[in-house]
Structure 1
Amino acid sequence: MTDTSGPGVKGDVVSLKATEVAAFKKLYQDRYHPIVNRLMFALRASVHDSEDAVQFAFVQAYRRWSQIENPEPWVVTVATRAYLAKCKRDRRRMEIEKRALVAGMLNPHGKTGRELDDVDGYAWVQAVISDLPPRQRQVMAGIADGLSNEEIAGLLGITQDNFRSNLRFARRRLEKRLDLKKMIPAPASETGKGGTS
């Protein structure tokens, strides 16, 4: 869909003055990562979802740049609304898929029962992670999204040592909270110790 409203907009091509382009670039370079981090912290969004929402907001800001009085709050508002709309769509899609599965209809994505259980498991993991301090939550959210250690550290603007420290503390907190030793059965070799031979 092309936006053909407003001055200087022709189809998907937007013409801005050099000063407007410079102001947009400065906002993008200076505030992109802080806005992504704000969404991750305030909305408990993943790195991926936060970046998608912020990128969408910056594209919209560029298209309407000459009409926006306060660009940063505008971008934050648009990014927040985009993320919340995505969450609503995702919840609706999951409800429809679960109802279809219960009704015996074919699963359009070809997921097995185990994979559908993993959807609920992922939501549970997100809920557990949300109780961590902000930086540890951001690190664990990046890991849950499958990012490499280097990618997460780069996105968060922290050193590898800082990343490893946050990861270690987050894992310790999660182990205490989940009491993983009770949840994971001991290997067969350990269960036979002390028994009769």
Structure 2
Amino acid sequence: MSDPSQADDHRSTQPPTIQGPPSAAVITRLLVNEEFSDFYRATLRPLVQFLINQGSSIHLAADIAQETMARAYRRWTEIDHPRAWVHKVASRELVRHFSRAVEEPTDSVPEPSSLAPRPDTAGEWEARQATLHVLQALPPRQRQVLAWTLSGYTPTEIAAELRMSPEAVRSSLKKARRTATRHIDENGEHQ
């Protein structure tokens, strides 16, 4: 006869078996994860570009975008308009960053990421963004409104997200276009 304590030890090392169908909570979590994953893949790169259009470095834009996506995941079931929500949250975080004196990293990207599959192409990717030089010449509000516009938002949608009147958004956009045109003419940047 074998020792009963050994039999108990053997049973305790066996993984518990799950019986029956998964609970509604498990199914809901799986659906939320799948929905968020699709959103993440479709939105991360445009969100990084949106931040770069507002004057961010690629490194800072990637960090803010990742943190914003993590916040969105934690609040996913509470967010009505996720694309607008991540743009607003990321934009606010960028403004907070600009208002602080923080050193920016100057080294190259150390390893591949979803934003730069080949680290050596990060600079090329950033350089291809023809509008960056022009956007950097704009005052912050004009740059912000133009970045939202380049991300596909209408003046009415921008006004709602930035808590401005649509007329103020249109005015900032008009000034941004005028300033951009003047900058291109003065600097000969016809990219």
Give yes or no for TM over 0.5. Answer: no
Larger Rg: 2
Larger RCO: 1 or 2 (CA < 8 Å, sep 6+): 2
